[in-house]
Structure 1
Amino acid sequence: MSNPLLQGMPEHGLPDFAAITPDDFRQAIDRGFAEHEAEIAAIAGDDSEPDFANTVEALERSGALLDRVMSVFSNLVSSDTNEELQALELEFSPRAALHESHIYTNTTLFERIRAVRGSAAELEEEQGQLLDNTYRHFVRAGAQLDPQGRQRMEEINGSLARLTTQFSQNVLADSNAYQLLLDESQLGGLPKFVREAAATEARSRGRDGFLFTLSRSSITPFLQYSDHRDLREDIYRAYTRCGENRVDNHTVIRQIIALRAERARLLGYETHADYMLEQRMAKTPDRVIELLEQVWAPCRDKVASEARDLQALIDAEGGDFDLAPWDWFYYTEKLRQQRYQLDESEVMPYFSLAQVRDGAFEVARKLYGISFHPRRDVPLYHPDVQAFEVREADGSRIGLFLFDFYMRPSKRSGAWMSTFRDQSALDGHVEPVIVNCCNFPHGDPCLLGMDEVRTLFHEFGHGLHGLLSKVRYRSLSGTHVKQDFVELPSQIMEHWAMEPEVLKDYARHVDTGEPIPDALIDRLRAAAKFNTGFAATEYLAACFLDMAWHGKEGEQAEDVAAFELKVAEKTGNRTVVDPRYRSSYFQHIFSDDYYSAGYYVYIWAEVLDADGFEAFKENGLFDQETARAFRSNILERGGSEDPMTLYRRFRGRDPEVKALLKNRGLA
């Protein structure tokens, strides 16, 4: 049987998933490596004078087969993995790192890049950006090091690829190993929708009863509603010890930190944070800490006030105990219901998954004129996945959009946007194939809480960034931007989810079809700033932890738990609020390099999204001129220009932090 991964991709951009075997991946990836190596050798060995076309664009074109196959492989490893795929991932991750290192430490190829950069040829803006990115990639990979230094860089990158893959697989294994299986007598306080989701999860795993897992969509409602304090403590402790219950991610973390620090020093940087931040808008660790502390100062007072209110509620109910982390969600939910008369079981029927999805579609239509049409004739990797063809207002096709909403043991935790194919126009227009992944509980229908509604809109914003890209070069398209800019399109979309005009359109009762009442909208919006001290604290605590790990102090840490405590004391986090992610399951920063010394990007981007949304509020939620400006300057441009230049072109000025503080109730 022929290998479906080597047959060329159909027009829709998706392979015949059902026909692919692990051996097909092995064969296709092996060939992809070989073809790419031959292409690189041809570029480096070209006898003609180096120029932009025969060197930079040739490098951009190279590796097409490998990129295509690895995009399929990496998406499946994240979304629908198994033991065979995980074994291949452990095998191929170090090999892929070594392959990339060989390319970007190729001194002959680097000299050609340097020659093009030093020529007097006039380049277009996007060409200049590609050349600059390519040159910096070589420098940061170690192309200017001596042979011994380049050899050590290859060893470090290979080891890091293996360790970060192991970290991620350990988290998945530990998450799947924990199951809180309950019977009817242990469900006190849990509303109907939570019980139904837990029963569905139990059946999906061949169990009787009610099953809760470490997925945020499972653990959060349990912590909110369960009257059994001992069970809340059990699941909370299991969650916060993920990666150290049955596996040892602490050892993996220390090895990752040591290798990252060594790599930074090899390249002339003081710390890994300095190395990573050079490529971001923030530029330096000091600027990151400065921003974090601007929000942290008012946040500390607010979260302390929230903790006092919760303790007062515990005392009033006759609770003979001090507020603990596993109590926070439970008593916050009680206080929220008291103050705003908000009951999640009253709210959730207005937010069925299909209606929220269609609400996001309608926002995109009103803003950008685009429409989403179901495709049932394309191959999909799992029965849960839905496919939509996306079209412009004139009917022309933009690309394909996949939604993979539900949690399952074969999918990693969290929510993310990825691509099976990036947009480009170097050799004819290539349509993007985008996928949004979430971990919502199965249900008939699936009803979402407000956090999950915002998550759907957030990932949809990332999807629009990849979908509406209009650039020439694949490596500059869509979300291939500076990391503290990538969250702007996603976070700004969250604002529309809660606007009354939008809610009245998509939030309709699942049984009656009635639109959400104005009074309920008012209560939802009034409650939006409730518990913001907690939300900001757990996020900022994780940001400080990330920056500490990747500074000088992280290199010297011998005990992970002691280091976390030291960071909390240093930042003055004396509440019972843990970081959103403790180190052992902090996948943002330890499953690869991308978010390392970069978890702060969400708050950096929040400055941009809060300020940017003010333009829509000033001109109208669906003002077409404002929408065109955002699409043409932000969504379509990818990484083809400096991000602050793009933002200023959209907004007409630099961003201001005051809108963020106002939105979070911290002004």
Structure 2
Amino acid sequence: MRPAVLYSGCQDWARWVTTNPPQMLKQTSSVPWICARCTRQQQPLRRLLHTSSSRHDNSHPAAVRSKQPNTFSSIQSSSSKHNDHALRQIFDSPAFWSEFSQHSRASYMRRSHGLFQNKYLTSPEGFERFAQSNLRKAKKIVDQVLQAKSKEEYGKVVKQLDRLSDLLCRVIDLSDFVRATHPDRLIEAAAVRAHSIMYEYMNVLNATTGLAEQLEVALSDDTKLWDEEEKMVADILRRDFAKSAIDLPQSKKDRFVALSQEINLVGSHFSESMSPAKQYLTFNKSQLQGADPMLIQQYSNWGQVDLPTVGMPSLMALRTVKDPEIRKEIFMGSRTASRSTVRMLELLLKKRSELANLVGFESYLHMALEDKMLNHPSSVHNFLYQVSQENRSPMAAQLDQLRAAKAHAAGTANSTGSHIDPWDKEYYMTQVLQSTRSKQRRPDFLSSYLSLGTVMQGLSRLFSRLYGVQFVPHNTMPGETWNSDVRRLDVISETEGLVAVLYCDLFAREGKSPNPAHFTLRCSRFISDEEINESRERMEPIFESPEEASNDGMAYSSYGQKGGIMQLPTIALICDFSLSSNPRKPALLSFGEVTTLFHEMGHAIHSILGRTRFQNVSGTRVATDFAELPSILMEHFAADKDVLSLFARHYETDEPLPYEMITDQLSFEKKFEAFDVENQLTLSFLDQAVHSPAAAQAGFDSTAIYHAMQSKYSQFGPDPRGTCWQGFFGHLFGYGGTYYSYLFDRVLAKRIWRDVFKSGKERGAVTREHGERFKSELLQHGGGKDAWECLKGATGDSRLSKDADPKEKASVIGGGGLK
């Protein structure tokens, strides 16, 4: 169980969309679709904590702590061209990287400076010292909060609870990343132990009712001196305490804890052990005419083919096998989960319903939506309905293309009567797309203009133009990274110097997860002089100053701060790009991979610029249905002509990318975009329906509900009788009532792209004025300002005020469509 209140964690669930955005369901509709990382984000009541990690290095110009802006500006102007060149080379040139990283590669022979330059993490044993040190500080804060009596002491309660959250997250989030990523088994085991130490303490805190009681006393007092951020944090903490059964009688509280544990176990088991009713379907080779012979050979045995029912083999068969009856059989097998899988799903849904009822909610859906932008089921329904209406016309037009393809294959001129069965969809989509692709250049031709180094260079140039920050390569110290391929980039502001540290682990290697991801290892927070003085009193010899000790040796800045320092965000970016087998040839990215990298950087720039004083609302610490907006917005930038002109050049000739190649690619990718939207709508409605009060009713049948949602919202109609695909929809556990968020943020991003960045017209995507507007109205607030107010400020649309009618706002947004 992940405790309900005192753990907030990074919004790592958002990384999943970064890697495998929901539109991938269009391409892999037969595949059980789940990201294991999502399953760690189940408990809805974790906001008290967060993350962040980085270190201030006085040896680097970026870390100059002068309060004179011009000091850094002069340094920066003399080296910006060198940094820009080096940024490309450390990713594109193995020889350059080898020379650049010489002293970090000597880490096996020299004293470790600590993972992420955290001074505790120089050895496996250091993880426990790290946990115990932060645990001592946490216990002291709990005592102070519980003993608060005076007006002055109650005035500090929110800050203290936020600091408590930060201390716990420092250990848990960093350990969580290390245990999932580090190749050294000893370090991995040490991270697990550190995680357990803090995890057990959080269980104790969740039973400490006095924390919630003291917060209520603080809130009942005069809070006029609190700014908007502090009030937002207080409100978040109050809601989370209420959701965690803190006020219930002990018997119900015990049931809440037990249910939370059961939900986590059942949900994890559901998502990790999803299985089809039939593992294989057996065919004669002759029945699979049209399929790739290499695929058939791989699964052949004595003239028969044992085709797996789920995964890429069945999907490829659906796309290529000519016989519609065989396709139907494959479709049925790929859409039918085992009975045990469906039972496990329905058990999860029933337990969630009981949990929500226990703490006073009508359903788990009502509980999940309470703190979201669309904070009521009716608002979500209004939004989804509006998008559904907007999508009907393009969906009908794209469906006509499949009918025409089917009529052509049948040798008839009239496509009006052609009916598209569910097992026809992938087959005729493939036919149409292959016809379109044959008129274009080879897909890999575009990659020649998109080396990883040039794309990273382009991202830095874009952020410099929009927000006044750039990436500067920084040599790592021995022991600072988990692999010698990891590049460290310092994020440098034109006026403030170092504002974040970014670790880039972008190349594929054996044993590494293939899923791209964004992790915030330590987030922004103001560290007061009082905390620094505490560190001075018990400063360990591993630290050089109390400021360094107050942040475990990781990055901080004193620029512009009065009465303390800022701990700076430390971010890890994980991708799985293939290195070229030719050492003289850089890693070349597909346009899809470029879009993925831009998407991930959208999360990163949110973490970088959202440097709030409270870690509870720092960076991506926003409502779930607001978290994907910056990352999806970056996908628009990836396809913009002026943005591409910043970097897209042929790796051999340096010839700029002909933009018509991108327009051709976009046209190809959006050929059946309406199908993707319809699929997402159906799944979003399903997620809403199975988490509604219906889950508590006798005879609850998730299969009947899924088919009903298909009948109502899909122009393809329901799957055939006997299928139960919802058993493969692992994100019912991961999202739990908020799966609509991806569509919602797609619409919001489209609105921002149009209203703020002028859809890229007249260089709108690279104009500082537009970037500053988006930063000042939205990015820099993190979750410290109401999301609707951020949106209203960025778009200038007064109808989006937080005080406007929620249903009307949902309709306004949904009516904007995705076109």
- In which range does the TM-score fall when normalised by the shorter chain? 0.7 to 0.9
Alignment counterpart, residue 260 of structure 1, candidates 345, 349, 352: 352
* 27-36 vs 267-276, greater mean Cα deviation: 27-36
Query: Conserved in 1, the CA contact under 8 Å of 2:212 and 2:241?
Result: yes
- What residue number does 2:217 align with? 115
1:336 aligns with 2:476: no
AA aligned to 2:164 is S
1:326-368 CA distances to partner (integer Å, 9 max, x unpaired)? 4365334214326x73642333333333333332222212111
1:355 aligns with 2:454: yes
- What residue number does 2:427 align with? 327
TM value normalised by structure 1: 0.78
Q: What is the rounded CA distance, in whole Å, between the counterparts of 2:787 and 2:631 in structure 1? A: 15
After TM superposition, give the deviation of residue 396 of structure 1 in Å.
0.7
Q: What is the rounded CA distance, in whole Å, between the counterparts of 1:408 and 1:237 in structure 2? A: 34
How many residue pairs match? The answer is 618
1:114-141 CA distances to partner (integer Å, 9 max, x unpaired)? 1111112422222222222222221121
Q: Within 5 A, what are the aligned runs for 1:520-535?
A: 520-527=661-668, 529-535=670-676
The 1:535/1:509 distance shift into structure 2, 3 A limit, reads farther
Q: What is the rounded CA distance, in whole Å, between the counterparts of 1:77 and 1:304 in structure 2? A: 48
After TM superposition, give the deviation of residue 375 of structure 1 in Å.
2.7
Query: Conserved in 2, the CA contact under 8 Å of 1:404 and 1:438?
Result: yes
The 1:389/1:169 distance shift into structure 2, 3 A limit, reads farther
1:515 aligns with 2:662: no
The 1:16/1:472 distance shift into structure 2, 3 A limit, reads closer
Q: What is the rounded CA distance, in whole Å, between the counterparts of 2:499 and 2:313 in structure 1? A: 38
1:601 aligns with 2:704: no
Q: Percent of aligned positions with the same letter in both sequences?
A: 23
TM value normalised by structure 2: 0.65
Question: 1:514 aligns to what SS in structure 2?
Answer: coil
- What residue number does 2:256 align with? 153
Q: Within 5 A, what are the aligned runs for 1:585-664?
A: 586-591=729-734, 595-614=735-754, 615-617=756-758, 620-654=764-798, 664=818
1:143-166 CA distances to partner (integer Å, 9 max, x unpaired)? 222222222222222333444444
1:288-323 CA distances to partner (integer Å, 9 max, x unpaired)? 111111111342453344244235335534699965
1:286 aligns with 2:371: no
Question: 2:491 aligns to what SS in structure 1?
Answer: strand
Alignment counterpart, residue 381 of structure 1, candidates 478, 482, 507: 482
The 1:574/1:26 distance shift into structure 2, 3 A limit, reads farther
Query: Conserved in 1, the CA contact under 8 Å of 2:374 and 2:380?
Result: yes
- What residue number does 1:403 align with? 504
Q: What is the rounded CA distance, in whole Å, between the counterparts of 1:63 and 1:141 in structure 2? A: 16
The 1:664/1:127 distance shift into structure 2, 3 A limit, reads closer
AA aligned to 1:348 is S
Alignment counterpart, residue 710 of structure 2, candidates 568, 574, 578: 568
The 1:484/1:516 distance shift into structure 2, 3 A limit, reads same
Q: What is the rounded CA distance, in whole Å, between the counterparts of 2:196 and 2:256 in structure 1? A: 12
* 454-463 vs 605-614, greater mean Cα deviation: 605-614
AA aligned to 1:280 is K
The 1:189/1:408 distance shift into structure 2, 3 A limit, reads farther
1:59 aligns with 2:158: no
Question: 2:739 aligns to what SS in structure 1?
Answer: coil
The 1:390/1:167 distance shift into structure 2, 3 A limit, reads farther
1:393 aligns with 2:393: no
AA aligned to 2:433 is E
1:459-501 CA distances to partner (integer Å, 9 max, x unpaired)? 1111100011231111111011112222221122211111112
After TM superposition, give the deviation of residue 278 of structure 1 in Å.
1.1
Q: What is the rounded CA distance, in whole Å, between the counterparts of 1:364 and 1:165 in structure 2? A: 39
After TM superposition, give the deviation of residue 609 of structure 1 in Å.
1.7
1:234-256 CA distances to partner (integer Å, 9 max, x unpaired)? 9x9799679x68x9654543333
- What residue number does 2:573 align with? 436
The 1:538/1:623 distance shift into structure 2, 3 A limit, reads same
- What residue number does 1:297 align with? 389
1:468 aligns with 2:605: no
Query: Conserved in 2, the CA contact under 8 Å of 1:425 and 1:473?
Result: yes
After TM superposition, give the deviation of residue 20 of structure 1 in Å.
5.6
Q: What is the rounded CA distance, in whole Å, between the counterparts of 2:689 and 2:526 in structure 1? A: 41
Query: Conserved in 1, the CA contact under 8 Å of 2:55 and 2:117?
Result: yes
Query: Conserved in 2, the CA contact under 8 Å of 1:610 and 1:660?
Result: no
1:312 aligns with 2:404: yes
* 613-622 vs 478-487, greater mean Cα deviation: 613-622
The 1:624/1:252 distance shift into structure 2, 3 A limit, reads same
The 1:215/1:566 distance shift into structure 2, 3 A limit, reads closer
Query: Conserved in 2, the CA contact under 8 Å of 1:224 and 1:331?
Result: no
Q: Within 5 A, what are the aligned runs for 1:481-560?
A: 481-527=622-668, 529-555=670-696
Name the Cα RMSD after superposition.
Answer: 4.7
Q: What is the rounded CA distance, in whole Å, between the counterparts of 1:28 and 1:310 in structure 2? A: 60
Query: Conserved in 2, the CA contact under 8 Å of 1:225 and 1:330?
Result: no
Question: 1:507 aligns to what SS in structure 2?
Answer: coil
After TM superposition, give the deviation of residue 268 of structure 1 in Å.
1.2
Q: What is the rounded CA distance, in whole Å, between the counterparts of 1:554 and 1:542 in structure 2? A: 16
Q: What is the rounded CA distance, in whole Å, between the counterparts of 1:515 and 1:281 in structure 2? A: 42
After TM superposition, give the deviation of residue 59 of structure 1 in Å.
1.6
Q: Point out which structure has higher relative CO (alpha carbons under 8 A, 6+ apart).
A: 2
Query: Conserved in 1, the CA contact under 8 Å of 2:747 and 2:818?
Result: no
After TM superposition, give the deviation of residue 446 of structure 1 in Å.
4.1
Question: 1:505 aligns to what SS in structure 2?
Answer: coil
Q: What is the rounded CA distance, in whole Å, between the counterparts of 1:489 and 1:465 in structure 2? A: 7
Q: What is the rounded CA distance, in whole Å, between the counterparts of 2:272 and 2:517 in structure 1? A: 17
1:539-558 CA distances to partner (integer Å, 9 max, x unpaired)? 22221222122112344576
- What residue number does 2:47 align with? none
Q: What is the rounded CA distance, in whole Å, between the counterparts of 2:309 and 2:779 in structure 1? A: 34
Q: What is the rounded CA distance, in whole Å, between the counterparts of 1:95 and 1:313 in structure 2? A: 61
Query: Conserved in 2, the CA contact under 8 Å of 1:215 and 1:439?
Result: no
Query: Conserved in 2, the CA contact under 8 Å of 1:386 and 1:403?
Result: yes
* 489-498 vs 605-614, greater mean Cα deviation: 605-614
Query: Conserved in 2, the CA contact under 8 Å of 1:407 and 1:438?
Result: yes
Question: 1:345 aligns to what SS in structure 2?
Answer: helix
The 1:9/1:611 distance shift into structure 2, 3 A limit, reads closer
Q: What is the rounded CA distance, in whole Å, between the counterparts of 1:435 and 1:157 in structure 2? A: 30
1:366 aligns with 2:465: yes
AA aligned to 2:235 is D
1:71-100 CA distances to partner (integer Å, 9 max, x unpaired)? 122224554689999999999999977754
The 1:15/1:366 distance shift into structure 2, 3 A limit, reads same
The 1:31/1:16 distance shift into structure 2, 3 A limit, reads closer
Alignment counterpart, residue 444 of structure 2, candidates 338, 345, 353: 345
Alignment counterpart, residue 139 of structure 1, candidates 224, 232, 242: 242
Question: 2:248 aligns to what SS in structure 1?
Answer: coil
Question: 1:613 aligns to what SS in structure 2?
Answer: helix
